[in-house]
Copies of this chain bind each other. A is one copy, B any other.
Amino acid sequence: MHSFQQSSDAILRKHGYRLTPQRHMILNVIQEAQGHLSIDQIMERVQQQNPCVSLSTVYRTLELLKSVDLIRESHLPDAQPLYEIADGQAHHHLICRRCHVTIHLDETLLGDLHEQLQTQYGFHHLSLELVAAGYCDNCWHTLQQELAQDNIDPQPTLDIVSQD
């Protein structure tokens, strides 16, 4: 992924920062992950490569990479902040509140909303992030069953008591 390294370096330099080994490693870890990583996960994977890297560096680096738009931070419900490579201007998630399966939705999902908001409200340099949270079909059915259970339970329990 030579072009990725090149552009990271260029972007950092444009802002007066350097692409240090640590920053490079952290970017790589995030790049290689299929989905999003929490701070802890990033820390863990970085330390596998070099155990000396400190947590403060991870915090500082994520902050810095965010500030130059190389990565994006998302807050999904009931989760710590997650980090991912910021490759487009939009990114969307569909999440199950129970099993936490996460589906990445296409950037085109919202059509021309991007331009629409920019012209309508005079905003510039917009980035959009949609979070859709609910229950996937599986979990939904499981929940329904649990609910049914709870409603039936009390009665039989009383009967059994009298058997004693």
Binding site for B on A (CB under 8 A): 73, 75, 77, 81, 94, 96, 103, 109-110, 113, 117-118, 121-137, 140
Contacts and interface: CB of A to CB of B under 8 A. Distances in A.
24 contacts: A75-B75, A94-B117, A103-B121, A109-B113, A110-B130, A117-B132, A122-B137, A123-B134, A123-B135, A123-B136, A124-B134, A124-B135, A124-B140, A125-B134, A126-B132, A126-B133, A126-B134, A127-B132, A127-B133, A128-B130, A129-B131, A129-B132, A129-B133, A130-B131
A117 to B, nearest CB: 6
Contacts of A73: 77
A127 to B, nearest CB: 6
Nearest to A92: B130
A124 B110 contact: no
